[in-house]
Amino acid sequence: MNELGKVLVEVEAVLERLQDENKQKIPQKVWDFIRNNKDNSYIFKYDDTKPLEEQKLRLDTCSMLMYLNREYLLNEEEKKKLDIVLRENEQLEEEEKRKKYNPDDIFKNNKS
């Protein structure tokens, strides 16, 4: 729970910077969950002079923000585009794994 609590602090810091119309798209139960489960002892300083990608957010924070963005903020067309990009990224990652861990090469003797 400690890690989740820190993630929720970071998520809240980002969401609080949304325009009011976008904040209102996120259900109250989500806001309640964030506020009731965040780690109040964890201090995260959002630097308003830097773009989001330079905030040094945790990986789990980025994942949660992407989920919230897809579920509550994007329209259907934007969701489809995001899904395509995510599938393409997953395919690229799988190709890299295949190259790196090629089963045909596992038993080859690497002679230097």
User: What are the pLDDT digits (tens) for 22-45?
Assistant: 999 999 999 999 999 999 999 999
In a domain, 16, yes or no: yes
CA distance readout (Å), 33 to 10, 42, 47, 105:
14, 17, 24, 48
pTM: 0.79
| Residue 3, phi then psi, degrees to nearest 5 | -65, -45
CA 2/CA 49 separation, integer angstroms: 28
Q: What is the DSSP letter of 46?
A: -
Domain of residue 62 covers 2-73
Tally the domains of the chain: 2
Residues 43 and 67 reside in one and the same domain: yes
Q: List, for residues 54-83, the tens digit of each pLDDT value.
A: 999 999 999 999 999 999 999 999 999 999
In a domain, 88, yes or no: yes
